[in-house]
Structure 1
Amino acid sequence: MATAPASLGLSWFTRPAARAWTCPPAPADVASFHRTLPGYAPTPLVELPSLAAELGVRRLFVKDESSRLGLPAFKILGASWGVHRALCEHHGLPPRAPLARPRDLARHGGAAGPPVRLVTATDGNHGRAVAAMARMLGLAADVFVPHGVHPAAVAAIKEEGAGVTEVPAPYDEAVRLAADVAASDPSALLVQDTAWPGYERVPQWIVDGYSTLFTEIDEQLAAAGAAPAGLVAVPAGVGSLAQAAVTHYRAGRSAPTLLCVEPDAAPCVLTSLHHDRPVTVQTGSTTMAGLNCATPSSLAWPFLRSGLDAAVAVTDAATARTARDLAALGVSAGPCGAASLAGARAALTPRRRSALAPQHRETVVLLSTEGSTANPA
């Protein structure tokens, strides 16, 4: 895989032909599974007319993921489905089996076996979500955290009962260490939200879990009497959520502009799009800790290359400003969540918007993927 300094990536990319690309939809039973989880409710889709007027569009909505199943970010959607499917496979249960604690396995026809330990690496929200699932199921969890994650985010993972190993290196190295540790322990089950050759089944289940977010958006826009989304802005780290967006919106429902937004200190997807192949970038420091990733997921890359038609890199200063603007409008957004608005502002300029789908002027949806307490700036 090629390596490039982040500074070599240009700040803007478009491929309008991506709107014509199609792919199969996500599994239909994911949303039904999420509805069985304790405390499930759709997160708010908040309409913000003042931002619509600023950006020159008819209606603008923010999908507010600041409180999702008791956690301050969307990641629990993928972690819950990924953990469930991985445990079903491990214990010989069908995918439609109820989410069962180890003591219930025999009742559901599964093989109990030795206790399972969940292992993952994270730059914040995914690790906390896996830890929360472990706590819910009465399992142990070990989470590997790279350099640069806010101490409050690390503390939150520990509060879920997980063991935490802080790795004095970037995210990619924490992932490698977690994978090595899991491979050396028969009781360990790696639940990682990025893929590489030979490890793609669990990451695919995690991506499938994110589909519930987009199903909710469709239903909420319809309930609000709004046109289908014409532009969807998605923050990207390794690209798994962006992959889920591509899967949803390129499955024949509509053909909106899908805008990928990354920190200018770690634009691995943007740089890869410019090179037309996966590229590992040299990451820098950023307040968008959850997006500080050097390499696109191998699973996500084919979807991003074919289905994303716009990508942009934004600065920490821009996301700090948009976080303040969203807070003033009643939406709690951390740096990663606020990146969507920063990206939309960068994309919806007179010079750039001509490359976007015409219906972007009708309905814009911004994914605010985390609340202000998830990864404090």
Structure 2
Amino acid sequence: MTPETSDNRTLPWFARPAARTWRCPPAPAAVRDFHASLPDYAPTPLIELPVIADELGVGRLFVKDESSRLGLPAFKALGVSWAVHRVLAERPESGDGAAPGPVTLVTATDGNHGRAVARTARRLGLRAHVFVAEGVHPRASAAIAAERAEVTLVAGSYDMAVRRAAEAAAAPGVVLVQDTAWPGYERIPGRIVEGYSTLCAEIDEQLAAADAGPPGLVAVPVGVGSLAQAVVTHCRSRAAGPSASALLSVEPRAASCVLDSLLHGEPVSVTTGETTMAGLNCGTPSSLAWPHLRDGLDAAVAVTDADSDRAAADLTALGLSPGPCGAASLAGVRAALGGEGADGRRATLGLGPDSTVVLLSTEGSEANPVRVTGT
């Protein structure tokens, strides 16, 4: 597929019409039961916005608001809490039958994931060491440190921070809890993806309660692709064919590693630039997510910071409080359904005037202050 044009600009776009025929196994049912057992668990809101539905020419539009999840301003704690729970349960006893020794959780972050790892470690009485990529706002780094984690600032990109965290995890008693995978490191990222399935299950229940039925389109912001993998897994483990939900990934133009990989037909790494969508500023897709994204996404689009900023302002005016990453899903749907070529893209996604659209707003405004340089 080649990029299309919109409003005299090049619209970075990819579509795969066969995606709704692809199938995969579902996430474990035990994930939802685990989260429900946590003392601070509650489903996050699914908020209907008729004004945006009218703007986009669809029947109904809902926003899954992840601005407050398990006490944090982003969805990431769902994956981390489940992954750490499974890691600790699966640790082998020592040779004399004694309990395993103390654990330090280590990770790299562009913001929200690191804070989720630090909070989970503090809740369980474990140590945490978080490598923070260059450009993350000092307030985000301070929030991680406030969880009693050791914070190391990395003079480089998110991908470089991941390498530093992986090196640190070679020490005894250290467990790498990373939300991206690469060959040889896929078990824990897989658990993190499983953890995100709770968010999808909640949406099903909330849509049914709103008498809305399955969505015609789900839009999901993408960094390395783990949340998108969870959404693909949830949707493609159920109905296949034209009635299945269309799935749209949304990335910053400054860091469109998934879109570029889809256009090339294989995983590629991109050099990331500056973007206010800090949590999506990732240069390499997760190796575990890639097959699901390649086969299960209907379309992918990349948006500018200005697109995300406008979407955030509009959602704020309607009573939500999304961060730039959370607002990216609205920016992406607007780009896909507007401008030159919109009718073709709408047809590709199977959207009509009665369709239901769900936008995943993955973080609140507190989660990722505006990205800065030289941190």
The two structures have a TM-score, normalised by structure 1, of: 0.91
Find the aligned partners of 2:59 and 2:11 in 1 and give their Cα distance.
30
Find the aligned partners of 1:281 and 1:361 in 2 and give their Cα distance.
38
Asked if structure 1 preserves the Cα contact closer than 8 Å seen for 2:57 and 2:353, the reply is no
Residue 267 of structure 1: aligned partner: 256
Q: What SS does the aligned partner of 2:33 have?
A: helix
Find the aligned partners of 1:287 and 1:239 in 2 and give their Cα distance.
18
Cα distance, 1:358 vs structure 2: 3.8
Asked if structure 2 preserves the Cα contact closer than 8 Å seen for 1:231 and 1:360, the reply is no
Q: What SS does the aligned partner of 2:270 have?
A: strand
Residue 154 of structure 1: aligned partner: 141
**Structure 1 pair 151/47, CA: closer, same or farther in 2 (3 Å)?**
same
Amino acid at match of 1:306: D
Residue 101 of structure 1: aligned partner: none
Q: What SS does the aligned partner of 1:279 have?
A: coil
Amino acid at match of 2:267: P
Q: Are 1:69 and 2:70 counterparts?
A: yes
Give me the CA root mean square deviation: 1.3
Q: Which runs of 4+ in 1 moved over 3 A?
A: 358-361
Q: Please, which of 306, 318, 326 is the counterpart of residue 315 of structure 2? A: 326
Asked if structure 1 preserves the Cα contact closer than 8 Å seen for 2:12 and 2:301, the reply is yes
Cα distance, 1:124 vs structure 2: 0.5
Q: Are 1:373 and 2:362 counterparts?
A: no
Cα distance per residue 1:298-354 (max 9 Å; x no partner): 000000000001100000011111101001111110000000000010111333212
Amino acid at match of 1:72: P
Find the aligned partners of 1:111 and 1:211 in 2 and give their Cα distance.
34
**Structure 1 pair 63/87, CA: closer, same or farther in 2 (3 Å)?**
same
Cα distance per residue 1:256-277 (max 9 Å; x no partner): 1100000000000000000000
Residue 4 of structure 2: aligned partner: none
Find the aligned partners of 2:101 and 2:299 in 1 and give their Cα distance.
47
Percent identity over the alignment is 70
Q: What pairs up with 1:190-269 in 2 under 5 angstroms?
A: 190-253=176-239, 255-269=244-258
Residue 22 of structure 2: aligned partner: 21
Amino acid at match of 1:172: D
Residue 51 of structure 2: aligned partner: 50
The two structures have a TM-score, normalised by structure 2, of: 0.91
Cα distance, 1:360 vs structure 2: 8.1
**Structure 1 pair 120/111, CA: closer, same or farther in 2 (3 Å)?**
farther
Q: Any unmatched runs of 5+ in structure 2?
A: 1-9, 371-375
Q: Please, which of 289, 293, 303 is the counterpart of residue 304 of structure 1? A: 293
Cα distance per residue 1:78-112 (max 9 Å; x no partner): 000011111111246xxxxxxxxxxxxxxxxx952
Asked if structure 1 preserves the Cα contact closer than 8 Å seen for 2:58 and 2:352, the reply is no
Cα distance per residue 1:125-159 (max 9 Å; x no partner): 01100000000000000000111111111111011
Amino acid at match of 1:36: S
Q: What SS does the aligned partner of 1:364 have?
A: strand
Q: What SS does the aligned partner of 2:255 have?
A: coil
Asked if structure 1 preserves the Cα contact closer than 8 Å seen for 2:101 and 2:173, the reply is yes
Find the aligned partners of 2:357 and 2:57 in 1 and give their Cα distance.
10
Residue 3 of structure 1: aligned partner: none
Q: Please, which of 299, 305, 317 is the counterpart of residue 316 of structure 1? A: 305
Q: What SS does the aligned partner of 1:325 have?
A: helix
Amino acid at match of 1:297: S
Find the aligned partners of 1:346 and 1:249 in 2 and give their Cα distance.
23
Query: What is the number of residues matched between the two proteins?
Result: 351
Residue 110 of structure 2: aligned partner: 123
Residue 181 of structure 1: aligned partner: 168
Cα distance, 1:75 vs structure 2: 0.2
Q: Any unmatched runs of 5+ in structure 1?
A: 1-8, 93-109
Asked if structure 1 preserves the Cα contact closer than 8 Å seen for 2:58 and 2:351, the reply is no
